[in-house]
């Protein structure tokens, strides 16, 4: 069966990206001081990347030219530096006899040759350098494939995916649209690098992870401040009762009217009435919490949909 990685390497047609990939491969292969000579284009005297192996300087020839014999001979003749290692990167198979021929030619220039041909690159990218494969060939590894599957399933069939996470803030619990929160909880199970380098949608998923984390921290902070305020306002001394006032006030700050909240169902307790809850909301609105109407929670309500009971 033809390897997906091999096929992608054979079809690679962007010289500049191939040079960038070669530089990353060299970095991952324990070479140091890896420096692409002309990653954005321009003359490079045939020497696309410079690097070191300990104290020994090296240069990389990077090519997508299928006529590898002519290209290697051309680049070797142009070689101007005093580098004593040559790393050849190409996306064709270099036969054993051709490797021997290239090695002898390099030795005649006083250089050691390290060949990264199609098959060697495939082996590296399918094993120890899957992150590079994902970045340049856009091929999922096991973690990325699992993440993509779980994200797709959650977005397409949210009601079929169990939700076993209890949100830490009231604000999150009363949001009508729970999908942003559930997506965040799913992403938390993966490493950031696996999320960011997921082909196609990785950066957007990572942006959501960061944005929702900021939202959660802010929601928890505001809720704690409101709990403290409410505790000093009301005669009931039970934090569970304060939570009722906070819940009602968050719905009101989120844009719901008293009548709408009442229509969602009764969540009152401890002899608290809707009128009591509305009075607490009014006092919070008159206090410094009036900023919530035009500030963070209002923005959250717009961003993550309206509130519900």
For 43-98, how does the pLDDT look when each residue is reduced to its tens digit (9 = 90+)?
Answer: 444 568 999 999 999 999 999 999 999 999 999 998 877 779 999 999 999 999 99
Long-range contacts of 201-204 (CB under 8 A, 24+ apart): 201/148, 201/151, 202/144
Residue 228, in any domain of the structure: yes
Residue 309, in any domain of the structure: no
Residue 171 DSSP one-character state: H
Examine the domain organization and report whether 260 and 179 are in the same domain. Answer: yes
For 163-179, how does the pLDDT look when each residue is reduced to its tens digit (9 = 90+)?
Answer: 999 999 998 998 888 99
Q: Among residues 250, 189, 231, 188, which one has the least CA distance to residue 213?
A: 188
Q: Which of 87, 116, 137 is the last residue of a domain?
A: 137
The model's confidence at residue 254, banded by pLDDT at 50, 70 and 90, is confident
Alpha-carbon distances, residue 22 vs 57, 97, 144, 164, 208 (angstroms): 16, 24, 22, 44, 31
Examine the domain organization and report whether 68 and 183 are in the same domain. Answer: no
Q: Which of 114, 137, 160 is the last residue of a domain?
A: 137
Q: Report the C-alpha gap between 3 and 25 in whole angstroms.
A: 19
Examine the domain organization and report whether 264 and 281 are in the same domain. Answer: yes
Q: Among residues 82, 91, 140, which one has the least CA distance to residue 119?
A: 91
More confident residue, 95 or 41: 95
Residue 55 gets the label, from left (phi > 0), alpha (psi -120 to 50) or beta, of alpha
Mean pLDDT computed over 219-240? 91
Examine the domain organization and report whether 132 and 45 are in the same domain. Answer: yes
Would you state the pLDDT for residue 279? 95
User: Is pLDDT above 90 for 22?
Assistant: yes
The model's confidence at residue 38, banded by pLDDT at 50, 70 and 90, is low
Report the CATH number that the domain containing residue 83 is assigned in CATH. 3.40.1350.10
pLDDT, averaged across the chain: 87
Would you state the pLDDT for residue 47? 67
Residue 161, in any domain of the structure: yes
Examine the domain organization and report whether 133 and 162 are in the same domain. Answer: no
Residue 118, in any domain of the structure: yes
User: Is pLDDT above 50 for 120?
Assistant: yes
Residues 6+ apart with CB under 8 A from 226: 246, 249, 250, 284, 289
* Contact (Cβ atoms closer than 8 angstroms) between residue 246 and residue 277: no
Examine the domain organization and report whether 40 and 131 are in the same domain. Answer: yes
Q: Report the C-alpha gap between 42 and 229 in whole angstroms.
A: 64
Locate tokens 């410079």: which residue? 50
Residue 240, in any domain of the structure: yes
The model's confidence at residue 306, banded by pLDDT at 50, 70 and 90, is very low
Residue 308, in any domain of the structure: no
CB atoms within 10 A of CB 56: 12
User: Is pLDDT above 80 for 123?
Assistant: yes
Examine the domain organization and report whether 157 and 280 are in the same domain. Answer: yes
User: Is pLDDT above 70 for 117?
Assistant: yes
Would you state the pLDDT for residue 46? 54
For 255-267, how does the pLDDT look when each residue is reduced to its tens digit (9 = 90+)?
Answer: 889 999 999 899 9
Examine the domain organization and report whether 198 and 298 are in the same domain. Answer: yes
Examine the domain organization and report whether 129 and 154 are in the same domain. Answer: no
The DSSP bridge partners found for residue 175 are: 307
Examine the domain organization and report whether 68 and 43 are in the same domain. Answer: yes
Would you state the pLDDT for residue 3? 81
Residue 8, in any domain of the structure: yes
Examine the domain organization and report whether 129 and 51 are in the same domain. Answer: yes
Examine the domain organization and report whether 180 and 273 are in the same domain. Answer: yes
Would you state the pLDDT for residue 289? 52
Would you state the pLDDT for residue 235? 85
Q: Tokens standing for 142? A: 């096991």
Mean pLDDT computed over 270-290? 86
CA atoms in the 13 A half-sphere facing the CB of 64: 14
Mean pLDDT computed over 227-249? 92
* Secondary structure class of 164 (helix, strand, coil): coil
Q: Which of 110, 137, 164 is the last residue of a domain?
A: 137
CB atoms within 10 A of CB 208: 16
Would you state the pLDDT for residue 294? 47
Residue 264, in any domain of the structure: yes
Would you state the pLDDT for residue 130? 85
Would you state the pLDDT for residue 143? 79
Domain around 291: 144-303
Among 112-116, 186-190, 250-254, the least confident range: 250-254
Domain count, the chain: 2
């Amino acid at each position: 069966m033809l390897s997906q990685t091999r096929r992608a390497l054979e079809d690679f047609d962007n010289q500049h990206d191939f040079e960038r990939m070669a530089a990353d491969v060299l970095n991952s292969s324990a070479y140091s001081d890896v420096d692409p000579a002309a990653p954005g284009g321009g003359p490079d005297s045939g020497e696309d990347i410079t690097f070191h192996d300990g104290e020994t300087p090296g240069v990389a020839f990077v090519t997508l030219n299928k006529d590898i014999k002519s290209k290697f001979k051309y680049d070797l003749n142009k070689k101007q530096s005093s580098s004593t290692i040559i790393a050849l990167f190409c996306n064709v198979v270099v036969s054993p006899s051709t490797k021997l021929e290239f090695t002898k030619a390099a030795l005649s220039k006083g250089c050691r040759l390290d060949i990264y041909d199609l098959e060697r690159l495939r082996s590296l990218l399918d094993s120890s350098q899957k992150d590079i494969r994902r970045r340049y060939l856009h091929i999922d590894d096991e973690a990325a494939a699992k993440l993509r599957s779980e994200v797709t399933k959650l977005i397409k069939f949210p009601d079929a995916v169990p939700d076993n996470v209890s949100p830490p803030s009231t604000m999150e619990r009363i949001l009508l649209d729970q999908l942003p929160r559930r997506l965040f909880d799913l992403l938390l199970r993966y490493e950031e690098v696996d999320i960011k380098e997921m082909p196609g949608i990785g950066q957007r998923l990572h942006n959501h992870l960061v944005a929702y984390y900021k939202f959660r921290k802010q929601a928890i902070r505001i809720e704690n401040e409101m709990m403290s305020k409410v505790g000093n306002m009301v005669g009931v001394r039970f934090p569970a009762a304060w939570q009722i006032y906070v819940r009602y006030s968050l719905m009101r700050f989120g844009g719901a009217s008293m009548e709408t909240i009442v229509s969602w169902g009764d969540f009152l307790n401890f002899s608290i009435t809707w009128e009591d809850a509305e009075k607490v909301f009014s006092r919070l609105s008159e206090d410094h919490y009036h900023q919530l109407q035009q500030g963070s929670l209002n923005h959250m309500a717009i961003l993550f949909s309206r509130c519900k009971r």
